Amino acid sequence: MPCPTAASTDPPATIRMVDLQAQYRRIEADVQARIAAVLAHGQFIGGPEIVELEARLADYVGVAHGIAVSSGTDALLVALLALGVGPGDEVVTTPFTFVATVEVIALLGARPVFVDIDPATYNLDPALLAAAITPRTRAILPVSLYGQCADLDAINAVAARHGLPVIEDAAQSLGASYRGRRSGGLCHIGCTSFFPSKPLGCYGDGGACFTDDAALATAMRQIREHGQDRRYHHARLGINGRLDSLQAAVLLAKLAIFDDEVARRGRIGGGYSERLQGQGAHSTASADNGLLLPHIAPGCSSVYAQYTIQVDTRDAVQAALSARGIPTAVHYPVPLNAQPAYAGYCCQDCTPVAARAAERVLSLPMHPYLTDAELDAVVAALLAAIADSAI
């Protein structure tokens, strides 16, 4: 396919950042039928859809246990509670992620310890991990950002030497593979989100935890049910963290097309990179036009929860794209150790790679229903915006 130039055609009438309407048109009959079944049996909490969803998700990820919960944030909270994380403990994590990752640590009275990111993948840098571990460290919580798994083999190896559990925040990476295994099943506990815009999203909030450890699975099931081990008997501290049956019904409808959507995401992400590489952009070093593409590590695939580039003149380019009708987003403009609520946990200049990325990252429209014409239009508008910003 020939690469477009900055002089390509005007963008189509509407390009969406995420197109849930196109997805719904494809699965409308199945969604409606599954919702109707829930309305008919009336088990809105703990219905048969929850049992089916948990089994299918566990099988998909490749673990023994799937535990459906009320959100991706609650998935992380449930996992930390199951591991006994509490006041005075430390949890090593990344500063370059959505706030939920760190929020749950602090809410438990523990201290987030920030480790800088790999400049190529944006994920926690395993080479810096050991130096952050202290006698107070209780767990390691890497994030698989933008749809690509963190380097979990390297992270697990460090964790094993120190006798620490690892929780993968797979909110953006369900469907991605890492050395022949799937995200969510790569460490002690995997946690994901079903927020509507995620690769597998419901029509509200939802999430899940995954593990091969039967004791942890039991603990997490109890925690999501107010700590109950049987009705009105509370064996441990818990929360109201249940996924409802209607959201499970939606997710079951979406699971039927998930493999196809993951493949489409891979093709579209590759289509962006192919077009932009033809214009001098690279994924390993800044090009002449200051444009850096996503780097997919060997042995990995990305589900492209976002297609995120770096560009020197980010704000000007974003404004120019908006003027051309191209939506974009910045994930994330401020590292968490520079956020007011968490600045006291780490000096802002201790994570220079994350700080640099925060100044330059820009996410382009990304969903399984982008057309070739829309890809051409986004790339053409991006190249024109970069050229204009350099004048």
Cα 222 from Cα 334, distance rounded (Å):
36
Q: Rounded CA gap, 146 and 176, in Å? A: 10
- pLDDT for the residue 5: 39
End-to-end CA distance of the chain, in Å? Answer: 30
Q: What is the pLDDT of residue 110?
A: 98
SS3 assignment, position 182: strand
| Alpha carbons 270 and 147: distance in angstroms, whole number | 13
Going by the DSSP 8-state scheme, the letter that residue 147 receives in this structure is G
pLDDT for position 11? 56
pLDDT digits (tens, 9 = 90+) for 137-165: 999 999 999 999 999 999 999 999 999 99
Q: How far apart are CA 18 and CA 198, in angstroms?
A: 9
The pLDDT assigned to 282 comes to: 72
> Which residue do the tokens 């390691």 mark?
140
pLDDT value, residue 86: 98
Contacts of residues 219-227 at CB distance under 8 Å and 24 or more positions apart, as own/partner, are 219/81, 219/82, 220/67, 220/69, 220/78, 220/79, 220/82, 220/189, 221/67, 223/78, 223/81, 223/82, 224/67, 224/69, 224/70, 224/74, 224/78
pLDDT along the chain (391 residues), means of 10: 40 86 98 98 98 98 98 98 98 98 98 97 98 98 98 98 98 98 98 98 98 98 97 97 98 98 98 91 63 96 98 96 97 96 84 96 98 97 92 67
- 8-13 own/partner pairs: CB under 8 Å, 24+ apart: 8/376, 8/377, 8/379, 8/380, 9/373, 9/376, 9/377, 9/380, 10/324, 10/377, 11/324, 11/325, 11/326, 11/374, 11/377, 11/378, 11/380, 11/381, 12/371, 12/373, 12/374, 12/377
Res 346: pLDDT: 81
Q: State the pLDDT at residue 280.
A: 72
Write out pLDDT tens, residues 343-372. Answer: 888 876 799 999 999 999 999 999 999 999
Q: Tokens 């580039």 label which residue?
A: 309
Q: Report pLDDT digits (tens) over 172-219.
A: 999 999 999 999 999 999 999 999 999 999 999 999 999 999 999 999
Task: Supply the pLDDT for residue 9.
Answer: 44
CB 362 within 8 A of CB 317: yes
How far from 267 is each of 144, 208, 262, 366, CA to CA, in Å? 20, 27, 9, 11
Q: 53 Cβ partners below 8 Å, 6+ apart?
A: 66, 68, 243, 248, 251, 252, 255
**pLDDT number for residue 260:** 98
CB 75 within 8 A of CB 69: yes
What distance in Å separates the CA atoms of residue 214 and residue 211, rounded to the nearest whole number?
A: 8
Alpha helices in 85-125 (DSSP H): 100-107
Give the Cα separation of 69 and 172 in Å (integer).
16
CA distance 147 to 263: 13
Sheet with strand 111-114: strands edge to edge: 111-114, 90-93, 137-141
Q: Kindly list the structural domains of the chain, giving each domain's residue range(s) and its CATH number in brackets, ordered by start.
A: 23-251 (3.40.640.10), 258-389 (3.90.1150.10)
pLDDT of 8 reads 43
